[in-house]
Amino acid sequence: MSTPTVGAAQVFRLPDLGEGLTEAGLVQWLVAVGDTITTDQPIAEVETAKSVVELPSPFAGVVVALHGTAGDTIDVGAPVLEVADAATGAASGAASAPSGAAVEQEAYREEERAGSGNVLIGYGTKERAASGRRRPAAARTSLGDSSAARTIPPESSEQPQLVRETDAGRRRPVAVRSPLVRRLARDLGLDVHALTATGADGAITRADVLRAAVDNAVDGAAAQHTATNTAHIDTGTGETVDGLAVRSRERMSPLRKAVSAKLSRSRSEIPEATVWVDVDATALWDLRAQMAPEGGKAPSVTALLARFVLLALEDHPILASRLSDDAAELISFDGVNLGVAADTDRGLMVPVVPGAHALTVDQLDVALRELAASARAGAMPPERLRGSTFTLNNYGGLGVDGSAAIINHPDVAILGIGRIIERPWVVEGEIVVRRIAQLSLVFDHRVCDGGYAASFLRRVTELIEHPLRAFGRV
């Protein structure tokens, strides 16, 4: 850890992230020592227990020190980076902003207006500039020693392809203006500094990233695999457990810690019970195909099932209620905030559709697609991950039929839906092929008994098997 420069540097400390979070994982730096940054410019991507967000700087000036490397965990209140006045930074040899700053700033703002950015909730302003250079963590020097970091020239020959010669003989930094392009390159395991830029002012474009991904598909994948394995294998300790060599020890991410705590609380506090039923979804399957508008898409099966669940909850509101903290009161609500379990690369998330009871099938379909896309992109705002009063888990998309689900605390029930697949089914005394799915309702036995839960499940089953009966209300 470096120490602040007395009278010159301002220390930015990780702000209180809210939601009871006390730490964040450092995904990657977006700036380097020597960069000139502006107020509210994103300086790093951090992973909280909710999502991956860009951390904006409250200070403007020259970056003189960074604290930590990618993969580190930063506690709330701990130093993140240090920024000196532009004049002070220039006097100590820091680099000035690149000559293409104005162009890059406008391009970045356009990207932000298109919704590609994701700032920390409750922190930063509406409009952010981006005049500093952004470099991935792999291209940066270790920052454990502040004094050493400050003496390395920002355009050192040890950082290949950070600058290129223009036609006029001037040297300009290679720019990655778009957060989407930067994220795409990182997800594909590509180093933007090794790419050939075709954009204006030497910028790396999306097409440049995709072209490099195709050209290096085999070699890049192998290199990434080797690098990952090498990073995870600790060959120096020789540790063994029960006769087996320990390959790696990885810290739990903030998200996994949050999921672990929530599921553990659910298991320890809620006396769960489960009822399940096989349902003939053939009529729903056929009806859905007929609901597609001309030239458009039919609503998703999840949207239709969600609407049926919401209709059933109108007659069984206890399953969309909550218990008070001391479990002495049952809190009922006028409506339903529907949580929908989503499997993402970062782990299980449950984004919420607020006021879902008031939405039509088409509106639910739009909301669910948007939530799923945001969750899988790691761009889900924290406020969209809380407040559910009932949870729907369509794990059939994962290729399974059933699950002993855990209730999403503080909800009191969760409905799981398995695959809708062709199976032999008896209809009017004959064995025919029908599309069958299994529904599993897990409920808090403190709020209701099995008869109430079974009644809810029968209502959902009725709507699935006879969807036209609900068509007037869908």
> Residue 373 is part of which domain span?
254-470
User: Which pLDDT score, from 0 to 100, does residue 180 have?
Assistant: 61
User: Which pLDDT score, from 0 to 100, does residue 431 have?
Assistant: 96
- Are residues 219 and 316 located together in one domain of the fold? no
- Are residues 130 and 194 located together in one domain of the fold? yes
- Are residues 260 and 388 located together in one domain of the fold? yes
Looking at per-residue confidence, does 286 or 254 come out higher?
286
User: Which pLDDT score, from 0 to 100, does residue 19 have?
Assistant: 52
Mean pLDDT of 108-136: 39
User: Which pLDDT score, from 0 to 100, does residue 75 have?
Assistant: 85
Q: Using the predicted structure, report yes or no on whether residue 56 has a pLDDT greater than 90.
A: no
Confidence bin at 8 (pLDDT 50/70/90) = low
CA atoms within 13 A on the CB side of 115: 7
Mean pLDDT of 399-411: 88
The reply to whether 350 falls in a domain is yes
In tens, the pLDDT along 302-314 reads 999 999 999 999 9
User: Which pLDDT score, from 0 to 100, does residue 160 have?
Assistant: 33
- Are residues 74 and 22 located together in one domain of the fold? yes
User: Which pLDDT score, from 0 to 100, does residue 27 have?
Assistant: 83
CA atoms within 13 A on the CB side of 353: 30
User: pLDDT over 70 for what percent of the chain?
Assistant: 66
Mean pLDDT of 261-287: 88
- Are residues 303 and 421 located together in one domain of the fold? yes
User: Which pLDDT score, from 0 to 100, does residue 306 have?
Assistant: 95
Q: Using the predicted structure, report yes or no on whether residue 33 has a pLDDT greater than 60.
A: yes
The reply to whether 313 falls in a domain is yes
User: Which pLDDT score, from 0 to 100, does residue 459 have?
Assistant: 96
The reply to whether 120 falls in a domain is yes
> Which of 230, 263, 278 is the C-terminal boundary of a domain?
230
User: Which region among 50-54, 357-361, 399-403 has the lowest average model confidence (pLDDT)?
Assistant: 50-54
- Are residues 210 and 105 located together in one domain of the fold? yes
The reply to whether 1 falls in a domain is no
The reply to whether 247 falls in a domain is no
Q: Using the predicted structure, report yes or no on whether residue 463 has a pLDDT greater than 70.
A: yes
- Are residues 279 and 423 located together in one domain of the fold? yes
Number of domains in the chain: 2
266: left (phi over 0), alpha (psi -120 to 50) or beta: alpha
Confidence bin at 177 (pLDDT 50/70/90) = low
**Closest to 385 measured CA to CA, from 430, 342, 329, 439:** 342
User: Which pLDDT score, from 0 to 100, does residue 55 have?
Assistant: 84
Mean pLDDT of 217-244: 53
In the numeric block, the tokens 């949580």 are attached to: 339
**Closest to 346 measured CA to CA, from 374, 368, 365, 366:** 374
Three-state DSSP state, 393: strand
- Are residues 332 and 463 located together in one domain of the fold? yes
User: Which pLDDT score, from 0 to 100, does residue 226 have?
Assistant: 44
In tens, the pLDDT along 337-367 reads 999 998 877 777 889 999 999 999 999 999 9
Mean pLDDT of 138-153: 38
Positions marked active-site:
445
Mean pLDDT of 53-82: 87
Mean pLDDT of 106-114: 43
- Are residues 17 and 145 located together in one domain of the fold? yes
Mean pLDDT of 175-197: 69
Looking at per-residue confidence, does 212 or 39 come out higher?
39
Mean pLDDT of 399-425: 91
Q: Using the predicted structure, report yes or no on whether residue 461 has a pLDDT greater than 90.
A: yes
DSSP-derived secondary structure letter, 162: S
- Are residues 129 and 223 located together in one domain of the fold? yes
- Per DSSP, the residues of 77-139 read TSEEEEEE-HHHHHHTTPPPPPTTHHHHHHHHHHHHHTT---BPTTSS-SS----S----GGG
Question: CA torsion, points 452, 458, 463, 469, in degrees to nearest 10?
Answer: -90
Of 159-173, 289-303, 425-439, the range with the highest mean pLDDT is 425-439
- Are residues 185 and 279 located together in one domain of the fold? no
> Which of 197, 230, 263 is the C-terminal boundary of a domain?
230
The reply to whether 210 falls in a domain is yes
Confidence bin at 175 (pLDDT 50/70/90) = low
CATH of the domain at 280: 3.30.559.10
Letter string b/e over residues 159-182, b meaning 16 or more CB atoms within 10 A of that residue's CB: beebbeeeeeeeebbbbbbbbbbb
User: Which pLDDT score, from 0 to 100, does residue 188 have?
Assistant: 67
Q: Using the predicted structure, report yes or no on whether residue 182 has a pLDDT greater than 50.
A: yes
The reply to whether 465 falls in a domain is yes
Q: How many CB atoms lie within 10 A of CB 284?
A: 22
What is the pLDDT of the chain when averaged over all its residues? 74
In tens, the pLDDT along 192-209 reads 777 888 776 677 776 777
